[in-house]
Each structure stands twice: as structure tokens, then as C-alpha cells.
Amino acid sequence: MKIDDGLCKILIVLLTLISSTLLSCTPAPESEVADIQAVTDNKTEITGGPPPLVVDTSAPLLLDEPAEDEETFAVATTQAAAENTACFVCHANYMTEFLADRHAKANIGCVNCHGQSFAHRNDENNITPPETMYSADKIDSSCQNCHKAHDIPAKKIIARWAERGLDKTDPNRIVCTDCHGDHRMKVRTVIWDKKSGKLLRTNKGD
């Protein structure tokens, strides 16, 4: 019948319109996603569940420990006052690390010690260093900006040294992080000169 044919044509036109609209809603390119992520990071609310992270599955695996389960994750994010989720996208093994966690609870986040480091965190090639790195000779003085004195019984100090199985023999080389936290990475995939920020070595390529 004629009227049905007309209806049919209208329907086909409508369907074509709808499907072409749908097709134009393809996801934003990855670089845009990263930008949006950077902008929304500051506003991310701390809730009971995992935050809405954009995880780059093609990024190299940085963990030298197995990934934490969801429960650990939720606890770490709800207790922490500082917002470290932008760094946890790649540095997930710092979610439960003592120094990072203890300071996060005092509202001192990764960015307070390492800088906002937008270029570092948005670099998919992982060759841009963070803004602030600490060579061995800079560690104690950086901690001492906030922790002036250290009044701990010798017994406790010796016990800690023994417990951590440290083998430095030159007392001048001992730094705060030898005894506190588990903040140094055991396995490195990218090495920068900590003073100049120059890229020295990566695991991909050379």
C-alpha cells in the first residue's frame, strides 16, 4: 500500500539518522582522555569505592609486588587525606607503602614532595621525569625540612638497622629512608639522572 510505503521510507530515514548520530559518538582519542583526567583529578571525590581511573592497559607494568585487591584499595583511599590517585594509576605499589601512606594521612601527597609532574604523568612513553627527584645527598635535608630532631633510644635504632639487614659500612651514606618506609623501587625500567632529569636508560629500545 502507498501510505505504508511512505511510513516505511520515513522510518528508514529516521533509522539512518539515529545510527549516524550514534556512530559519531566514538570515544575521544587517548590524549584527550588524559587531559580530561588531569583536569578532573583535583575534583575527584574520595568515596568508598575505587575512583574513576583511566587506566592505560598498554602502559608497562610497574609493580614489583602483586597488585592490591579492591579491599586494600578502598581502605587506602578512604583513609588518606591527600589525593594520590593520579599517581596510583601507574605507581599502584605505593598505595600501601608506609612513607607515602603515613604522609598522605597528614595531607602530604606525592605531589607535595615530587611536584605536580603533569608532563611526567601524561607521557605515554614514560621518558619525562617527575619534577622533583631526590639524589642520596638530598634525602636527609628534605626530610629535615619537617622533622628537625630525632630522639630515639640507641637500642631501637640498632634494632631497626639489624631488622632491615642493611649493609652500608660508611655512616655518612646512611639516609632516613634506609630505616623508614619501603619507598625505593626494587626494579627500575626507566632511569633518569636525579639531579639533571636527563634520561639515562629505558627498558624499551636501547
Considering the complex, state which of residue 25 and residue 61 has its C-beta at the smaller distance from ligand HEC: 61
Instruction: Report DSSP state, residue 61.
Output: P
Considering the complex, state which of residue 23 and residue 61 has its C-beta at the smaller distance from ligand HEC: 61
Helical (H) or strand (E) element with 76: helix 70-79
Residue 65: CB minimum distance to ligand HEC, A: 13
Within 54-174, strands assigned E span none
Residues 6+ apart with CB under 8 A from 143: 176
Catalog residues that contact ligand HEC under the rule CB under 6 A: 59, 62, 84, 86-87, 89-91, 94, 100, 102-103, 106, 108, 110-114, 117, 120-121, 126, 130, 133-134, 139-140, 142-147, 150-152, 156-157, 160-161, 174, 176-180, 183-185, 188-190, 192, 194
Considering the complex, state which of residue 4 and residue 163 has its C-beta at the smaller distance from ligand HEC: 163
With H, G, I as helix, E, B as strand and everything else as coil, classify residue 191: strand
How many Cβ atoms are within 10 Å of 104's Cβ, its own excluded?
23
Residue 74: CB minimum distance to ligand HEC, A: 16
Phi/psi for 106 (5° steps) reads -90, 15
With H, G, I as helix, E, B as strand and everything else as coil, classify residue 200: strand
Considering the complex, state which of residue 77 and residue 84 has its C-beta at the smaller distance from ligand HEC: 84
Residue 66: CB minimum distance to ligand HEC, A: 16
